Chains A and B, each alone.
Chain A
Amino acid sequence: MKVLVAMSGGVDSSVAAALMVEAGHEVIGVTLKLWEGPGGAMPTAGCCTVSDSEDARRVAAQLDIPYYVLNYTDRFKVGVVDRFLDDYLHGRTPNPCIECNRTVKFDHLLDQAGEFACDMVVTGHYAQNTYRDGFWRLGRGVDPDKDQSYVLAMLGQRELEQVQFPVGVQTKAETREIAAGLGLRTAAKPDSQDICFVGDGDYRDFVRKHSDEAERPGVLVDTAGTVVGEHEGIINFTVGQRRGLGVTFGEPRYVVEVKPESATVVIGQRSDLAVRSIVLDQVTWVIGQPPDRPAVTVQYRAHGEANPAVFAMEDDQVLVHFDRTQYGIAIGQTAALYDGDEVVGSGIIVA
């Protein structure tokens, strides 16, 4: 089989590529160039990912596979960064990694792999892709600390039949062991933590730099609508936030709502954050249809826990009713629906 491995320059995709070579496949390595730094006006300047792509290139050379850098900057800007900015400016909490998987990695790259005569796209995600009862299934990675099924929850049959996650069946420690055993230069490379295009800085600085709207001053109000303070831009607030409100009360206060059109931030008590039901839009189902049983568990943060709930269809949307009250769910986040350790579907929280 001929496979295309998306290599970020990290240890997981390095090992994914190595495992594919070891399995006897014909392998091509690619790095997606997603973002340019400031001042990237000239074609020769401003590549943000040079050192990472250099790591990927060197690993590919060691594995003796062809390696290319693909320019995805336009797609990434439109599909991920613009949407990221738009979400924050509209008081939503985006997950750019999920959008990148949805609009870049598991969309155009799959098509492009076909143009290189590759049968399969391989990534270094910690998730399991198995075929059972006539459908491809998406399961959690074996390593509970590294499981990335949540950020892949939007995948359907078209994608899953073309992708493989070879490191999903092992722990991160095992991945590093394999890399060290092969002498790969990425064996001890630290995991990436930040949003890749924001870099080391604060995402808020990034939003401020790209939009004046983020710094429009406004007021803080309590849940009754009484003005209790002023602020210097809604970008400084996300739902559930407790620190840095700029006003003090006798007991803890939280951001419970951000109203971008009036630049108003609503603060309240923990009880005001309580949510029992949410509504999901842009709903996807792994097998193309919802499961028969309405009982699921729902995860709405990358490393959050899955909470028992029941779901119901409402036209194109899904209504999720949690068994227990939840706190700090933000509009814009993705909710992944699980049956045990298997993803059944996903949607974006709109209410």
Chain B
Amino acid sequence: MAYFLQQLINGVALGMVYGLIAIGYSMVYGIIGMINFAHGEIYMIGAFVSIIAFTLLGMLGISWAPLALVLVLIVAILVTSLYGWTVERIAYRPLRGSFRLAPLISAIGMSIFLQTYVQIAQGAKIKPLQPVVTGGFVFTDPTGFTVTISWIQILIIVLTLVLMAGFTWVITRTPLGRAQRACQQDLKMAALCGVDVDRTISTTFVIGAALAAVAGLMATLYYGVIDFFIGFLAGVKAFTAAVLGGIGSIPGAMLGGLVLGLAEAFWSGYFSIEYKDVAAFTILVVVLIFLPTGILGKPEIEKV
């Protein structure tokens, strides 16, 4: 029972990280109908900016954890959002209205470019981070098993819930959210009604990148090591989460992330850790075959 509980906690924390990245995929897909293949790299850049900011703060002598965390969070969000904006501006905007696969191929190119760029600029070695937040709660059950919930896991869960609440508010209550929902329904009609479509799409990429930055920061804290290659796997898994929840749906992305995180935690807890990535990919293939619209998605009808 205790073991089960431990895997549950690990899975929820992992799933929330996936969920945050998945929102970026889901929003972009909802509005312009493309898979932003470079989104995983945006997450990786978020993680790198975080580790660089932590190191810089350490060199400046700021070591009080809460202050350092807040500063790093702000820096990571700002820089990563700028990356998200630039990627959209350079690689996707000129291709709007082009044939269907062009933006996807451009996105793959962008993803390779960003990955190699970080590899060249920062080196190919893995980067270890000194633990910033340590400790947590330890529970012992009568049979002697212990269940640990670390401060980082609590931080991940709380921060994600706060972000989700804020994000839901933006989507449902603000003019920006209204413009986004309008674009999601019909780009051309939204433009005719006076919505600045280009600006809305840019904002969508910025928000997606900001959430990916938070995910990157939390993954850095959680795992303690990063390298330039983490974006690929995280990207594919987050995309799986987005599809699982129903692409285009934001609560769906979060739900999909949780399901995937739990599946992965239980799989590596009870079966084999080597095949945990295979499990994630298998879920993706199976979901796309049997439930192509996801859990909360709407079926897409193609009209002539």
A binds B: no
